[in-house]
């Protein structure tokens, strides 16, 4: 997709764009809605000496809307967008958008597993995009827009495999989502971070406002 600098907060983005960002379903799916309705704790729960935050990285097409969808989930502590899963030694938007580096547009999600589980977040992942299209979400085409789950260990791999099998059965279609080893995550340029929130869309926990692709 063509990308430009983010508009000022609260100002609708009225840009003439050649393609649409179609990664995110604008209305929450059933699994997504169930998590959005959970109460958000005032602060993450901590147990002395125990790390209670974890990270996951997924790819589901254009990363702007994907990030906003996860930012709204209670139990999610932070989100940022970037590039991962490629063969080039570095990643920038200009290079990745050519589709030659092997990197995917991805979202890194920090979450509190005492509030929301890895499996539940994968449910949101499947709700917000079409996992049956290979290297494509809407008009965004290329390996950089692939559906992928980047796993850090065998436990995550097992959960991801079960989630893909369940989604394929639910849809009665083959799922194109790949499971890939967690690789270097290159944070995207600053203007891509929280892009839709900067454009005036709500990132408040529990928000069910439709996600509009360009602010």
Positions marked active-site = 62
What's the chain look like in SS3?
CCCCCCCCCCCCCCCCCCCCCCCCCCCCCHHHHHHHCCCCCCCCCCECCECCCEEEEEEECCHHHHHHHHHCCCCEEEEEEEEECCCCCCCCHHHHCCCCCCCEEEEEEEECCCCCCHHHHHHHHHHCCCCCCCCEECCEECHHHCEEEEECCHHHHHHHHHHHHHHHHHHCCCCCCEEEECCCCEECCHHHCCHHHHCCCCCCCCCCCCCCCCC
């Amino acid at each position: 997709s063509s990308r430009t600098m983010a508009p000022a907060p609260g100002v609708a983005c009225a840009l003439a764009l050649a393609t649409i960002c179609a990664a995110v379903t604008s209305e929450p799916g059933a699994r997504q809605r169930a998590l959005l309705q959970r109460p958000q704790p005032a602060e993450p729960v901590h147990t002395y000496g125990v790390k209670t935050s974890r990270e996951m990285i997924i790819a589901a097409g254009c990363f702007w809307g994907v990030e906003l969808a996860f930012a709204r989930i209670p139990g999610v502590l932070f989100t940022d967008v970037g590039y991962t899963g490629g063969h080039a030694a570095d990643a920038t938007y200009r290079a990745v958008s050519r589709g030659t580096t092997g990197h995917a547009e991805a979202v890194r999600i920090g979450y509190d597993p005492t509030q929301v589980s890895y499996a539940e977040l994968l449910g949101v992942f499947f709700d917000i995009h079409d996992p049956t299209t290979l290297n494509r979400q809407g008009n965004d085409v290329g390996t950089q827009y692939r559906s992928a789950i980047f796993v850090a260990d065998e436990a995550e791999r097992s959960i991801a495999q079960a989630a893909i099998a369940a989604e394929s059965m639910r849809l009665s279609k083959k799922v194109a989502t790949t499971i890939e080893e967690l690789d270097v995550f290159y944070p995207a340029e600053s203007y891509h971070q929280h892009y839709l929130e900067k454009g005036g869309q709500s990132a408040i926990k529990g928000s069910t406002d439709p996600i509009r692709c360009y602010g």
